[in-house]
Structure 1
Amino acid sequence: MKLLLIHSDHFKYEVTKETPVAEDIDDELREGLMDEVLAVFTTVEEVDEEDPEGVVKQARDEIIDVLESVNAERVMLYPYAHLSPSLGSPDTAVEILKSLKRSLEEKNIETGRSPFGWYKAFEISCKGHPLSELSRDIKPIEKEEVGEEKRVVPSDYIILTPDGSEQQVDPEQYKQGQAGDPVLDKYILSEEVKGQPSEKPPSIDSMRKLEIADYEAASDPGNLKFYPKGSLIFSLMKDWAHQIAVDRFGAMEIDTPILYDWSEPDIREQGESFHERHYRVKPPEGEKELVLRFAGDFGLFKMLQDSIISYRDLPLRIYEFSKSFRYEKRGELSGLKRLRAFHMPDIHSFTADLESGWREYQELYKEYADLADGTDIDYAVVFRVVEDFYSENKDKITELLEYSGKPALIELLKERKHYWVVKHEFQGIDSTGGNSQLSTVQLDIEDAERYGITYTDTDGQEKGCIICHSSIGSIERWIYEIIENAHKMEKPTLPTWLCPTQTRILPISSDNHDYAEKIQRELQENDVRADIDDRDQSLGKKIREAEMEWIPYIAVVGDREEENQELNVRDRETGEETTMKTQQLTEKIKEKTKGMPYRPLPLPQKLSKRPQFIG
């Protein structure tokens, strides 16, 4: 299905003559008029007949996405055969258009439809803004084949605590509170029992209000734009990932292409084994079909196929910050939580045998636990492991839980069904009680052979590696969970090291501006992000706006503070007001940001010099 969407002051049509394929209509469909309308010129294509219901759902979601982006009030569906040379049958087209109208109305959207197969005169007044004319191409989603990853293997569930005790769990009989840990309890209820909450996560609105990120209507859904504040948070998280991977774990950093030949057997096999939804690309010249990578493995594995690796090089640790793409269904997209374009900091470790691979696994677990703890979010630990491997390594898994101070839900697989023998996930829990996967580590005993990744052993023989796959988790999803965690607080607050402005300085009058600038310079020289609200507004309004921005420290300076060379500081977290020296405030912030990356203020120091990105 092809859609041409035009945001219009008004749209008017009147039928003039029927064609041989005209549908029977009542008088009410012979003419129509709508004001403040999104006019949707629609071509039903032959391929749509493969999955009419799926096409309608996708088209509805795309129309709603544009409708909300341009703030239109209603929709007019207008059959238009000129957007594609491959037309669907008239009967199918009529049924799809009728179904699309019903589907939009079920979402409480006022929807009109002009008749199919009639010549019509129409009049349209386009708004003329940048988003007033958009197009969308809807394609039926390919049916997934049942493969190895879909094979059902019996499993049992237990809860393992840091002291090594086990509790049998039946998800079908699970009772709230049974886990004995509120965070793990919420994960089990969300993922294994009730399903994700239907409530809209508040971070979807907050990411806009705080000028962190927003949808880009001129792009494909699920592609976000980041404003300066969001770009700073993103960059700090990227720096933190690099610190974990390169500075602490000792991985070598690489960079590989995002486009790959879909006909390459190993790339296609990897993609199809996981049933990923791919972005496929056809260049202007040539018959080759390309795919945008949905994981960082593609380029890394190709690189190592051509590399000469000795047993002396092992463990071989590789890090890549990879932008990846997955064509998630429109209805599954949700703010920063689920996107079609996202950034994955991935670490792969290649070892000689299972024992050394398991050691790498345990070290990565601890690195990622440190990262998660540094963001202050609530997360649950979930293991999935082959039963025999668990029996042999329960003591080591217990040690990992002791390190993070958390119990874990463990799925015990009766036999190996995947390429891994053990994996775990850190599952973030948002403010609605829903969950989302963050970091993961997987111990792979199969893929090295599939991709031809070998090393030369002490005896001169070529041997396959054990691969420890891991991802810190998409940066976007981490930001989602951090914002969601803030919404659990009485006064939402980001971790201080991630706050775009760590201190807002409020001069009481213009006479205090010079003193405010002096304080700002001192803080900045000590790697504290501070700005000045120098606008001609009341102090009360300035304080309210700083609180709406979740700024952790508000420093008020007037004549008394200037005379005493002090600050009157409001602490958002504690609610306390304290008089202190600039050095004391610096030390307080330094203590809260110790060991974390730093970047300077992402916006002009004075608020009077800043643009407003969200109207």
Structure 2
Amino acid sequence: MRLLQLHTDFVEYCPVSKEIAQAEQDVSKEKVHLEDIVVTLVAIENGDDERLAKTAADEIRTYLAKLKTNRILIYPYAHLSSDLAPAESAIAVIKSIEKFARASGFDVYRAPFGWTKSFAVQVKGHPLSENFKHLLNSSDISATLASTPTGVLDGPREKVSVALSEEEKLESTWWILEPNGKMSPVADYDFKPSDMKLRNFVNYETAKRRAADEQPSHIKLMKGLGIADYEPASDPGNMRFYPKGKLMKSLIEQYVSREIARYGGMEVETPVMYDSKHPSMESYFNRFPARQYGLTSDNHRQLFLRFAACFGQFLMAKDFMLSYKHLPLRLYELTRYSFRREKSGELSGLRRLRAFSMPDCHAFCMDINQAKEELLKRFNLSSTVINSIGLSTSETLEMAIRFTQEFYNENRDFVIKLVGKFGRPVLVELWKKRSFYFILKWEFNFVDSTGKASALSTDQVDIENGSRYGIEFVAENGDKKNPVILHNSPSGAIERVIFALLENCSEMGTKGVKPSLPLWLAHTQVRIIAVGTRHLDKCKQICSELTEQKIRSDIDDRDESVSNKIRQSEVEWIDYTLVVGDKEIEAGVFVVRKRNQGQHTKVTISQLIDEIRLRTKGMPYLPLNLPAYLSSRPIIMA
């Protein structure tokens, strides 16, 4: 239900004609004029009932008390919503609001329902003269989430799935599973000094508290390095990426997509919005723990922005003619973007966003046995990807695995084999009953400087959506069957990968190690510094030579001292700083400052090329996306 309350000097309306067949009967067509009255425009939506009418009357009473008046006009106004209740239900709810308002002792008037009316109003000019409320039934949590105990919202409806609601009250038992198969309750596990990150991860997961209490350290780094920043003109959780950040994102996206292609993923592209009333969508939404963004099309269809690539890939697979010989079928999409309306208190830098790029790869398998074989392959894929990006599964990340008691009882050896591949103790969340569409889910998690954990690589065993979406394949015996589906992201959201890399850099700094990004992700790999303006031609020649060898380099041609230029290179975390002067040009040997080693060495350009290419071997390359000369670059005030 939506209420727009206006404190007016006067309102007048005149019924003209019936707008719908269910319009009220015996309505006078005389003009009605009322003065010094609150006009409450009301739109009744699907699911609204007498209980919500009582909530509406309470809300009206609160507003009238603030205005110190008791006169009200209840005015049916369908234009406040595109999710209107049937006429019969709507008029009943409006009459209930009228009944409750009269019982409160108000002087109540009501405009006729279902009529086209001419309408004029003059709103008073004070701060409380206009008031909008969106009212929700507290029991309708499967479709909506109220922000207050009374079910009153000041903004648009936020869709919340049954799965998300159940997740918050889900009863789990927590265990530590070691690679040798020993599983101990968390309370009984003997955490060693080397298990500090695992202990922090356990504390975070078992507390189930996601709100950000303090700012993680990567936020300062993402701004200071000119990678990304908040966009004040957008919804919170939507970020702006500067050239350096965009280059980093693109390189990671290229790498992950390449590795998925090598694994056998067939890249596709699907829409970013879907009809929320589509039977498969509506059902799946309530099985997926995410909040969604809704919107209305020009033909009043209720759409939502995707929160994963599942919808498009499943609908696509449904239209394929599949045989068991085609399985496992691997579909892949890098979503730019997926949208999840996360709680504002959980948004913090790049850790948790409302719009993000997600590599999403589904495998459609014949049965649970093929799914287990495929999941092990994808675990290897994910381990390779996340380690190559620069996040170590042996030192930096923690693993969680979640499954039902039934799955564990029937597949204990498989679970132990999976944990053995990780090679360290992992956190287990054991469910007595299944609340989601999956029976097993594993993830690599990064624990940041504030003790908050964020999932990166992940995979799920889905036993519902093959049937839900009508995806079928012809089995060897000729029967039609629904596949088991795996949901894998080998890296997790690209933005969250950057978050983890920066947080890891911050941790390096606290240990006295110079923080640095992997060289293949560094925006500038070589900074060339001219001792004087007469050396710029040689700098340009070296820069061109490095570019030909797919090495990103730039030239500090500013009117600054060499020491200041070297200092700036350090501030930007540039691994190689090359100084070009008379002696270097004459000898063909150049002084290179290697930032991570904290030393100066003499090298030829060919030696420098060989060293950098060895360090970046096998990783994607993109050219510099800023002017090569620093004097031509804008100053980014992040």
TM-score per shorter chain, which class? 0.7 to 0.9
Q: Distance in 2 between matches of 1:374 and 1:222?
A: 27
Q: Structure 2 unaligned segments of length 5 or more: list them.
A: 11-39, 44-51, 60-77, 81-96, 98-125, 131-153
Residue 301 in 1 paired to residue 324 in 2? no
Q: Deviations over 1:343-396 (max 9, x none)?
A: 111110011111111111111111111111123232111001223433454444
Displacement after TM superposition at 1:484 (Å): 1.3
Displacement after TM superposition at 1:275 (Å): 4.9
Displacement after TM superposition at 1:502 (Å): 0.9
Q: Distance in 2 between matches of 1:232 and 1:553?
A: 19
Residue in 1 that maps onto 2:258: 243
Q: Distance in 2 between matches of 1:535 and 1:180?
A: 48
Letter of the structure 2 residue corresponding to residue 567 of structure 1: F
Letter of the structure 2 residue corresponding to residue 586 of structure 1: I
Letter of the structure 2 residue corresponding to residue 433 of structure 1: G
Q: Secondary structure at the match of 1:290?
A: strand
Displacement after TM superposition at 1:406 (Å): 3.0
Change (3 A) 1:404 1:539: farther
Residue in 2 that maps onto 1:512: 535
Residue in 1 that maps onto 2:584: 561
Displacement after TM superposition at 1:115 (Å): 5.2
Residue in 2 that maps onto 1:417: 435
Q: Deviations over 1:231-275 (max 9, x none)?
A: 11111111011112112x111111011111111011011112235
Residue in 2 that maps onto 1:458: 476
More off after superposition, 228-237 vs 271-280:
271-280
Residue in 1 that maps onto 2:230: 215
Contact 2:398–2:426 (CA under 8 A) maintained in structure 1: yes
Q: Distance in 2 between matches of 1:207 and 1:305?
A: 42
Change (3 A) 1:532 1:348: same
Q: Structure 1 unaligned segments of length 5 or more: list them.
A: 3-16, 21-43, 56-83, 90-113, 119-136
Q: Secondary structure at the match of 1:156?
A: strand
Q: Distance in 2 between matches of 1:417 and 1:487?
A: 38
Residues 310-389 of structure 1: pairs in structure 2 closer than 5 A:
310-322=323-335, 323-377=337-391, 378-389=396-407
Displacement after TM superposition at 1:476 (Å): 1.0
Residue in 2 that maps onto 1:276: 290
Q: Secondary structure at the match of 1:181?
A: helix
Q: Distance in 2 between matches of 1:258 and 1:143?
A: 18
Displacement after TM superposition at 1:184 (Å): 1.8
Letter of the structure 1 residue corresponding to residue 300 of structure 2: E
Residue 261 in 1 paired to residue 272 in 2? no
Residue 476 in 1 paired to residue 499 in 2? no
- Relative to the length of structure 2, the TM-score reads 0.72
Displacement after TM superposition at 1:194 (Å): 8.5
Contact 1:246–1:253 (CA under 8 A) maintained in structure 2: yes
Residue 225 in 1 paired to residue 240 in 2? yes
CA RMSD between the two structures: 3.5
Letter of the structure 1 residue corresponding to residue 319 of structure 2: D
Contact 2:519–2:575 (CA under 8 A) maintained in structure 1: yes
Q: Distance in 1 between matches of 2:306 and 2:537?
A: 52
Q: Secondary structure at the match of 2:179?
A: coil
Q: Distance in 1 between matches of 2:602 and 2:365?
A: 56
- Relative to the length of structure 1, the TM-score reads 0.75
Q: Distance in 2 between matches of 1:260 and 1:367?
A: 30
Q: Distance in 2 between matches of 1:253 and 1:143?
A: 30
Letter of the structure 1 residue corresponding to residue 440 of structure 2: V
Contact 2:461–2:485 (CA under 8 A) maintained in structure 1: yes
Letter of the structure 2 residue corresponding to residue 419 of structure 1: Y
Q: Deviations over 1:515-544 (max 9, x none)?
A: 222222222222111111111111121112
Letter of the structure 2 residue corresponding to residue 310 of structure 1: S
Displacement after TM superposition at 1:557 (Å): 2.2
Displacement after TM superposition at 1:454 (Å): 0.8
Q: Distance in 2 between matches of 1:516 and 1:335?
A: 37
Residue 191 in 1 paired to residue 205 in 2? yes
Q: Deviations over 1:11-47 (max 9, x none)?
A: xxxxxx9979xxxxxxxxxxxxxxxxxxxxxxx9979
Contact 2:161–2:291 (CA under 8 A) maintained in structure 1: no
Percent identity for Structure 1 against Structure 2: 39
Q: Distance in 1 between matches of 2:414 and 2:169?
A: 28
Change (3 A) 1:383 1:569: same
Contact 1:262–1:290 (CA under 8 A) maintained in structure 2: yes
Contact 1:232–1:500 (CA under 8 A) maintained in structure 2: yes
- The number of residue pairs the alignment matches comes to 505
Q: Secondary structure at the match of 2:258?
A: helix
Letter of the structure 1 residue corresponding to residue 404 of structure 2: V
Residues 102-113 of structure 1: pairs in structure 2 closer than 5 A:
none
Q: Secondary structure at the match of 1:274?
A: coil
Q: Distance in 1 between matches of 2:164 and 2:566?
A: 58
